[in-house]
Structure 1
Amino acid sequence: MALIRWEPFREIDSLQNEMNRLFESLTPASRSEWTGAFVPPAEMHENGDAVYLKLEIPGMDAKDLDVQVTAEAVSISGQRQAETKTEEKGVTRSEFRYGKFQRVIPLPARIQNDKVEADYKNGILMLTLPKAEAEKTKVVKVNLG
């Protein structure tokens, strides 16, 4: 039986070549499928009285959004229909983006879901979620060993 010298860098080169071939075989359309569905980015902060939630949902009308609020979570869903069209040097390029999305965001405190205020301007959804009275006065004792 003959001994064969192991060369780890040859294996790394082989792996890199395989990865390059994989990425070169992807069309632009299939690359966008890898990114997954649209998920609106969100920011949340709270103070003693309320939780504030801001979501970025550009290119949609308020009537196309469905916002549902429970005492523990916020659910935002809709159907995105975006179209961009550019014309340069006599060539027109048009791209369409369609699809449903949904995002459920758990809340850090119980809220009064019947007193939620919403504002949607320039693709930004702002929700003011007032905390439930029990959460405002809730004091938790911390055991220190």
Structure 2
Amino acid sequence: MTLKKRDDYDHPVFRIQEEMNKLFRQMFQEPFFSNDFFHAFEGKGWLPRLNQMEQPDEYVIEAEIPGIDPKTVEIQINGNILTIKGERRAELERKDRNTHIVEGTYGAFHRSVVLPGNADFDKITAAGKNGMLHIRIGKKPEEKPRIIKINS
């Protein structure tokens, strides 16, 4: 048996391996709140903040979309991935004043959320009000094990 010195684990190869292990753990687990994997692939720019909650009968996702008409937001389901897409447009034409600093963020966005296996895609509703988009996803009823009696 060979004992490793602490310095051996600080080698870049071990750090890369640990990062890859973290990535694969995130990819193949199914919890509702694991979305870091998708953020790495989303475009840079403006992203609405999300609140994700689990309630006894449903999952709830709230997206902050101030200044966006909720009717222009698109919600897609592909497999067990829910994606929210939209765009915040800038008010570019301002003839009555000179703009010196623009701190607002504008442009297209998309956010993806991995939904658990018991999400019921036939029971999804969405509503928008006061700059918030509320998405509710029902849960499928739990399957109970069936006991089979053996005839003798």
TM-score between both structures, scaled by the size of structure 1: 0.56
1:36-69 CA-to-partner distances (Å, cap 9, x unmatched) read: 3111100111122110111101111122210113
Aligned counterpart for 1:47 among listed residues 38, 48, 55: 55
Letter in 2 for 1:93: T
Higher relative contact order (CA 8 A, sep 6+): 2
1:109–1:131: 8 Å Cα contact kept in structure 2?
no
Instruction: Point out the structure with the larger helix share.
Output: 1
Of 85, 104, 110, the residue aligned with 1:102 is 110
- Percent identical residues: 30
Question: 3-state SS of the aligned residue for 1:133?
Answer: coil
Once residues 92 and 131 of structure 1 are traced to their aligned partners in structure 2, the CA distance between those partners, rounded to angstroms, is 52
Distance 1:56 1:138, change over 3 A: farther
Which of the residues 33, 43, 61 maps onto 2:69?
61
Give, in whole Å, the separation in 2 of the partners of 1:37 and 1:63.
22
CA distance in 2, matches of 1:82, 1:91: 16
Q: What residue is the counterpart of 2:90 in the other structure?
A: 82
Measured at CA, do residues 105 and 74 of structure 1 come closer, stay the same or move farther in structure 2, by a change above 3 Å? Answer: same
CA distance in 1, matches of 2:131, 2:86: 13
* Residue ranges of structure 1 left out of the alignment (5+ in a row): 1-35, 140-145
Matches within 5 A, 1:33-44: 36-44=44-52
Q: Secondary structure at the match of 1:44?
A: strand
Kept after mapping to 2: 8 A contact 1:78/1:100 = yes
Aligned length: 100
Q: Structure 1 or 2: larger strand share?
A: 1
Are the counterparts in 2 of residues 71 and 112 from structure 1 also a CA contact under 8 Å? no
Q: Distance in 1 between matches of 2:55 and 2:144?
A: 13
- TM-score, length of structure 2 as denominator length: 0.54
